[in-house]
């Protein structure tokens, strides 16, 4: 199922945030991530935004794409937004370095080509 215009806009937002996460981490290994509170907070916020954006996608679209772990994507957003005292930064780093790039790859497969791009 191709996304409607509204869902496509949300998917592009998710992809942009995923790319920002990759950019923020490209010069940081896990030890550097754990030593950099500002980087941790930036990644926390971006992962939260990915989940928030996923939450705004239509249920019809999410149901049509069960290959994406919508429940988990939205669930991590809920943890980051409401239970920040329980954040496992090792798990967050794994999410940012393994799961987010995999999500970006899947989003690129779903997204329609941008107008004006070939």
Q: How many CA atoms lie within 13 A of 116 on its CB side?
A: 0
Which one of 82, 89, 106, 108 is the catalytic residue? 82
- Active-site residue flag, 34: no
Which one of 41, 55, 77, 108 is the catalytic residue? 77
- Whole-number Å distance between alpha carbons of 8 and 89: 31
- Whole-number Å distance between alpha carbons of 29 and 59: 36
**Residues contacting 63, CB < 8 A, separation 6+:** none
The token pair at 55 is 């939450």
- Active-site residue flag, 65: no
- The residues annotated with a catalytic role in the active site are 77, 82
């Amino acid at each position: 199922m191709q996304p409607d215009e509204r869902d496509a806009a949300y998917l592009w937002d998710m992809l942009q945030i995923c790319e920002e996460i990759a950019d923020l981490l490209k010069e940081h290994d896990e030890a550097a991530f754990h030593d950099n509170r500002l980087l941790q907070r930036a990644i926390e916020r971006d992962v939260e935004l990915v989940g928030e954006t996923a939450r705004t996608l239509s249920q019809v679209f999410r149901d049509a794409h069960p290959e994406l772990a919508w429940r988990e994507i939205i669930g991590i957003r809920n943890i980051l937004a409401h239970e920040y005292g329980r954040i496992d930064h090792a798990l967050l780093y794994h999410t940012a370095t393994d799961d987010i790039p995999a999500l970006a790859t899947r989003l690129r497969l779903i997204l329609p080509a941008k107008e004006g791009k070939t």
